A and B are shown apart, each in its own frame.
Chain A
Amino acid sequence: MQRIGVFVCWCGSNIAGTVDVKAVAEALKAEPGVVYSTDYQYMCSQAGQNLIIDAVKEHNLTGLVICSCSPRMHEATFRKTAAAAGLNPYMVEIANIREQCSWVHKEMPVGTEKAIILGKAAVAKVNLNTSLTPGESPVTKRALVIGGGIAGIQTALDIADAGFPVDIVETKPTIGGKMAQLDKTFPTLDCAACILTPKMVDVAQHDKIRIFSYSEVTEVKGFVGNFDVTIKKKARFVDETKCTGCGDCVDKCPMKKNPNEFNMGMDNRSAIYIPFAQAVPKVATIDAGACTMLKKGKCGLCSKVCGAGAIDYTQKDEFIEEKYGAIVVATGFNPISMDKFDEYAYSQSKDVITSLEFERLTNAAGPTQGKLLRPSDGKHPHKIVFVQCVGSRCAACAEKGKEYCSKICCMYTAKHAMLTRDKYPDTEVYVFYIDVRTPGKNFDEFYRRAVEEYGVNYIKGMVGKIVPEGDVLKVQASDLISNKQLHIDADLVVLAAAIEPDKSARPLATMLTASMDTNDFFTEAHPKLRPVESPTAGVFLSGACQGPKDIPETVSQAGAAASKVIGLLCKDKLTGNPCIASANEMMCNGCSSCERVCPYGAITYSDKEFRMPDRTTQIRRVASVNPAVCQGCGACTVACPSGAMDLKGFTNSQIMAEVDAICK
């Protein structure tokens, strides 16, 4: 039998104004288990807490009921008080008689009656409370970063600089992500390569960072502090440790007609290739689909010219298993496919391009060495039309576009328009927009410069149709402000395609049991207060995989994610929430109902030996809950048909007791 003390708080006049606290304390004295009951002006004050501690000692209390403000306010406080008095902190229950009573009911008799009932429910619950001890688990002091764009790079550097080892897994042969493909970057117009490539070199040279390029995560097991991850290193048919990145093989390879992904397919690369001059790691990769040696066993030229002897046609995919304490997702984004936007003639004309293609076309290392030339005939375009929001903010066209704003397109279109006018003042530039959104620092100034200093023609309106006719692209559009139909004969059209999360993000989210929104962006643990953590403990978010972002935002989020990881890896042990599920093995029939509903994959099964009353033994399959993974939602407890699963701190009998007390 419990010895319960009841402590009714006045909260000054906040509670005592509408609840007769003395009457509450008096009424609760009669409840089973209650041996002491009192009231005080401010229970949470030092004096109030001392009063509780003294009462525990004097009356040998084993459980406490505090009738006060919301447990969301002071549960933690009173648990500490209980601990200071030598009780288990989980022997405390709170009756919320402020937010749920004195503040919402105006009349004293009504408030008092309800406060007594809430107090009774809390007493009924404490009678069934048991001591709970949070579990502890060790922390593996190594982080995994999935994705090697600017987000992953920054997160990895920050974690490694704090002294913790970091591995980066990147699907492409090189790190760098989309930023490596950009020319100049808004709002300052510094060249992307000049600010990115030094960071890539820092990553390559950092003694705490390992790069797994051309690799994928294939399996994730475990939980915060203790993830077991399998990484597949895809065969690139080149020994990374031997390749010096000289490029001799690339020059000699006869299979030169393969679309160059890095240049958005606007020129070709050979079957063995290095994506770009500053690639990290600077190692060649053989495209197995294009190499005749791998397909038909004929050629082998690269192996002959490689002075380092790095070519290995027999290389196989390699699987690496590693332990991590924390995982950061930085899988970024991609522009959506333009296939469904046929009104813009993307598939019909080479001179209708996307903005990312435009970046390559103006980049000194791109297919035209930075000269703005039409892909169709290599001529200089004199009239360029930019179309914003292609597939963005398109609630009506959900089947081909996206409902959300892609956020970066207004700014990079202003950048493209400005840079074009700067380099080629004889070019007429039109930008069609729904709205121009420029909320970042120095963003609006940037946009206004495009209009005022560089004479870019901004037209509010949508482009209805683009028809290629001979040499020109006939653009039909409406100008919403002057309410006119426009017909422009353009030489080049640039589409600001909406962006979407990488396609690999969803299967990855399933592996990590991290959640995503309907657009496949990773969701954060709290949209405002925990923006860089996923709801799954130990999994963090960095960059555009969480939502559209420009580089400054990506980098700040990357640093924030790193600081959260560092905070986690600094700990030697993690203490969990003790209010978690556990299965009564004697009642469990191994049906798997609980496992199917657990959102965290916390439940596993094992065969256990049971001694039967007749002295025989029986082997049965029973459920067990991993205390470090269980978050304590209770979904499994309801799913369990045999009543074997229960939730500590919120047991079936405790909640039933509360129901009974309220309905008495």
Chain B
Amino acid sequence: MQMKEYKPLIVAFCCNWCSYAGADLAGNNRLNYPADVKIIRVPCSCRVNPMFILRAFQRGADGVILCGCHPGDCHYTSGNYYTRRRMAMLFSMLDYLGVERERTRVEWVSAAEGAKFAATMNDFVAQVTALGENKRLEDLRCKR
């Protein structure tokens, strides 16, 4: 029997002003990246509550990426600085719980960086694919 090709499930949180627009630009320029990435729009990267990320892992996500404006370019002046600090904390805690660092990432993508968006997603998907399924936090009651 042939194994079905493993496809990771990736949740990407993108801030409305920079990264979501960067993703749109990747679309405009027809830059391909894997369909495993599903984007959720938030006003600012600092809107992302660590709970959302935990929930995603609990529900079976294999990787979570958070994209915001470059430091200094936040539409709300300082939101992405909060993100940076909060996520550093959260990711190290997740690491401690056995969710590998490679499954989480914060990336700054501006509205002009369609190519960077696509490249980042290609890279992240490859990285998570290499790790395989995420079983650590998955709540079996919500099995896909």
Chain A residue contacts of B59, Cβ below 8 A: 659-660, 663-664
A659 in contact with B52 (CB, 8 Å): yes
The reply on A40 being an interface residue by CB < 8 A is no
Chain B residue contacts of A117, Cβ below 8 A: 38
Q: Mark A5-32, 1 if CB is under 8 A from B, else 0.
A: 0000000000000000000000000000
Given contacts A103-B27, A652-B51, contact A659 B32 (CB under 8 A): no
Chain A residue contacts of B9, Cβ below 8 A: 662-663
Binds B, one of A92-100, A206-214, A387-395, A472-480: A92-100
Interface size class of A (residues with CB under 8 A): 35 or more
Given contacts A103-B27, A650-B47, A663-B60, contact A655 B52 (CB under 8 A): yes
Chain B residue contacts of A652, Cβ below 8 A: 49, 51
A535 in contact with B27 (CB, 8 Å): no
Interface residues of B, dominant DSSP: mixed
Separation in Å of the B123 CB from the closest CB of chain A? 15
Given contacts A638-B50, A659-B52, contact A118 B82 (CB under 8 A): no
Interface residues of B in 100-125 (CB under 8 A from A): 118
A609 to B95, CA, bound (A): 44
Binds B, one of A173-181, A438-446, A483-491, A629-637: A629-637
Separation in Å of the B106 CB from the closest CB of chain A? 14
The reply on A244 being an interface residue by CB < 8 A is no
B39 in contact with A96 (CB, 8 Å): yes
Determine the residue in chain B with the shortest Cβ distance to A640: B49
The reply on A531 being an interface residue by CB < 8 A is no
A652 to B23, CA, bound (A): 23
The reply on A579 being an interface residue by CB < 8 A is yes
Interface residues of A, dominant DSSP: helix
Selected from A99, A118, A632, A663, the residue in CB contact (under 8 A) with B23 is A99
Determine the residue in chain B with the shortest Cβ distance to A101: B35
Q: A72, A73, A99, A110: which has the most chain B beta carbons within 10 Å?
A: A99
A663 in contact with B27 (CB, 8 Å): no
Q: Mark A647-663, 1 if CB is under 8 A from B, else 0.
A: 10010100110111011
Q: Mark B44-59, 1 if CB is under 8 A from A, else 0.
A: 1011111110011001
Chain A residue contacts of B52, Cβ below 8 A: 655-656, 659
Chain A residue contacts of B78, Cβ below 8 A: 599, 635
A638 in contact with B35 (CB, 8 Å): no
A663 in contact with B46 (CB, 8 Å): no
B27 in contact with A655 (CB, 8 Å): no
The reply on A278 being an interface residue by CB < 8 A is no
Interface residues of B in 1-47 (CB under 8 A from A): 9, 11, 16, 20-21, 23-24, 26-28, 30-33, 35, 38-44, 46-47
Chain A residue contacts of B60, Cβ below 8 A: 663
Determine the residue in chain B with the shortest Cβ distance to A597: B82
The reply on A114 being an interface residue by CB < 8 A is yes
A634 in contact with B77 (CB, 8 Å): no
A104 to B33, CA, bound (A): 6
Separation in Å of the A515 CB from the closest CB of chain B? 5
Chain B residue contacts of A103, Cβ below 8 A: 27-28, 30
Selected from B28, B56, B61, the residue in CB contact (under 8 A) with A99 is B28
B40 in contact with A634 (CB, 8 Å): no
A638 in contact with B82 (CB, 8 Å): yes
Interface positions of A (Cβ within 8 A of B) = 70-73, 96, 98-101, 103-106, 110-111, 113-114, 117-118, 121, 515, 517-518, 535, 579, 597, 599-600, 631-635, 637-639, 647, 650, 652, 655-656, 658-660, 662-664
What are the nearest 5 A-B pairs in CB distance? A99-B27, A634-B47, A663-B59, A633-B76, A103-B27
Interface positions of B (Cβ within 8 A of A) = 9, 11, 16, 20-21, 23-24, 26-28, 30-33, 35, 38-44, 46-52, 55-56, 59-61, 72, 75-79, 82, 86, 118, 142, 144
A-B contact pairs, 25 of them (CB 8 A): A71-B41, A99-B24, A99-B26, A101-B35, A104-B26, A104-B118, A114-B35, A117-B38, A517-B72, A518-B72, A632-B43, A633-B46, A634-B43, A637-B47, A638-B50, A652-B49, A652-B51, A655-B49, A656-B51, A659-B11, A659-B52, A660-B55, A662-B38, A663-B144, A664-B59
